Amino acid sequence: MNNRVKDIIIWDRLFDPKQTIGIEIEMEGQNLSFNNSIYWKYTHDGSLRGTPESIEYLLKEPIQKREVSRVLKLLKDLMLIKRKPPARFTPSDRCGVHIHINIQYFTEENLIKFMCTYLAVENLLLRYCGEARQGNLFCLRAIDANTLISKLIEYRQDGDLLKLTSRALDIKYAAMNLGAIREHGSLEFRALKTPNNIEKINEWVKLLCCVRDQSITFSSLEDIVETVSRYGADQFVRMIFQRHTNTLINVIGPDIEDDILEGIRIIQDIAYAKPLQQNKQEGINLPDY
Amino acid sequence: MKKYNGFFDLDHVRMYLNNSIIMIENEPCVINEVNSDGEWDYILHYSRIGIAGIREIEVTNTSVSFIPIKLGLVNILYRGKNKTFIMRRRPNRMWKIGLNTANMVCTNIVNPGLKLWMHRNILFSRELYKTVQGDFPTVEKILDENTLKNTESIAFNREFLIHKYNRKLLLWYFNYSVPVGKIKRNKPQLSNEFLFLKEKLEGILNEQ
């Protein structure tokens, strides 16, 4: 578990450790294409069918967290001010924003802590993203499609990261897409609906970065579960989101306890899963009492 | 609940819903066909699982839910014996809102080698209906001799099952591939290693 992910999985390219954020924005509207941008490119996305146009904006390279706000503003200015005629953004419920967080330099231990801390607060984050994203088939929560949990338990037992991240299409439509680890060296978060004002994406990135940054402060997966038992759901959420807690609470309201407890029950099964015994006897291993 | 506003046209609704299971009026239902009423809405033709008869409802009706149905352990009579399978949904790249053979996984934890090849039959079965609705036998009923006689394994909740192994009765939890306890004095008892499941198990037993 102390191996770095980059030593286990080989990608075409290792990014600079500071380049941590990738962004994809699905957009519908009018006059959506552009000629030239240092940071952005676009592709036509077959899964969208907006009229008259639909497009996906992608960052050419991952950027630093502190650049996100500026780079989103650059795209907005490019499309709405510099472009003639200006673009008209009318994203429907079909359009989503996918945030990639680079995990190439993570240790396996920190990677699973990041995933589990996210799962602990996933219900809250999906509520932040809006009612239409809860149970949405393009970003299913772990409670909606729980093969993700069984895969993480298996990983905890056999430690095989390559197996966990294989069969990318089978896990692609989870709100946290593990398939992107193998494909891009990142964890992909698919839950946010494309907002009318794309600068709002910055708030979502900040929330996800809080989860990443706080996850590595836990000493173990068990510590995440025990922190909630010790301090309660409210304090746990404040520990995770720090000064951005109000960004979340202002949208979802103060009623968070049930969602956190549900999340913790999920990761409890992962946290306490023991590695498989090396010399498993034939038949069923009866537990000790 | 907010409705799904992402449908483009009739073909799109059919692709997302036909032959899959969603909740309608708090019951798991199979969507057999979708039609348009010509102007404003799409009409779902559906049947309740295990009950004959086709009904109709507008896709925008508030009792139509697109939240994935609750899955877990399913008790099935398989070759004359009660066996328990786990059904889970996969978040795979497949354009179905409801549960369908392509986005579900069906396995047996007690006997992982036992594959169930009749996914489709289970998908539209009364047994799955019982799991979705949380309709399980109580521990007391399971431990009745008549039930145990024809049983290999049987679930008393979406997450816990009792497994008859030689002369022992073992307790299994759906997320783990080893027994988590046993039945002692007619009560499920967790082994020390799995005591963290105590609160969950007690909650389930109290509800029975």
Look-up of token digits 């996800």: A208
Instruction: Give CA–CA dist A110/A105, Å, rounded.
Output: 10
The answer to whether residue A221 scores a pLDDT higher than 60 is yes
Interface test with B, best of A137, A150, A157 (most B CBs within 10 A): A137
| Mean pLDDT (whole number) for A122-139 | 91
| Mean pLDDT (whole number) for A238-256 | 95
pLDDT score, position B101: 87
What residues of B are in contact with residue A49 (Cβ under 8 Å)?
8
| AA identity, residue A180 | A
**Which residue of chain B comes nearest to A274, CA vs CA?**
B193
| Mean pLDDT (whole number) for A269-274 | 91
Asked if A153 and B179 come within 8 Å (Cβ–Cβ), the reply is: no
Quote the pTM value.
Answer: 0.92
Chain A residues interacting with chain B (CB cutoff of 8 angstroms): 49, 92-94, 130-132, 134-137, 140, 144-150, 153, 157, 169-174, 265, 268-269, 272-274, 284-289
pLDDT score, position B133: 94
Q: What is the pLDDT of residues A55-103, one digit of tens each?
A: 999 999 999 999 999 999 999 999 888 888 998 998 888 899 999 999 9
Tokens of A135: 């149970």
The answer to whether residue A228 scores a pLDDT higher than 60 is yes
Instruction: Give CA–CA dist A158/A35, Å, rounded.
Output: 49
Q: Name the CA dihedral angle for B26, B20, B121, B143, rounded to a multiple of 10 degrees.
A: -30
The answer to whether residue A109 scores a pLDDT higher than 50 is yes
Instruction: Give CA–CA dist B61/B5, Å, rounded.
Output: 13
Percent above pLDDT 90 for chain B: 56
Each as own residue / partner, the long-range contacts of residues B180-184 (CB below 8 Å, 24 or more positions apart, any chain) are B180/A287, B181/A287, B182/A287, B182/A289, B183/B139, B183/B143
Q: Is the dihedral of CA B20, B25, B28, B32 positive or negative?
A: negative
- List the one residue out of B89, B84, B200, B113 whose CA is nearest residue A151: B89
Tokens of A16: 């600079």
- List the one residue out of A57, A59, A289 whose CA is nearest residue B185: A289
| AA identity, residue B81 | K
What angle do helix axes A201-215 and A245-252 make, rounded to 10 degrees? 120
Instruction: Give CA–CA dist A145/A82, Å, rounded.
Output: 43
- A278 class by beta-carbon count within 10 Å (0-12 exposed, 13-18 middle, 19+ buried): exposed
Q: What is the pLDDT of residues A143-172, one digit of tens each?
A: 999 999 999 999 999 999 999 998 777 788
| Mean pLDDT (whole number) for A127-132 | 90
Q: How far is A55 from chain B (nearest CA, A)?
A: 16
Asked if A137 and B2 come within 8 Å (Cβ–Cβ), the reply is: no
Q: Model confidence at A278, in pLDDT bands (50, 70, 90)?
A: very low
Instruction: Give CA–CA dist A99/A209, Å, rounded.
Output: 10
Per-10-residue mean pLDDT of chain B, 208 residues long, equals 65 91 94 84 91 90 92 89 90 86 86 67 86 94 82 94 91 93 93 93 92
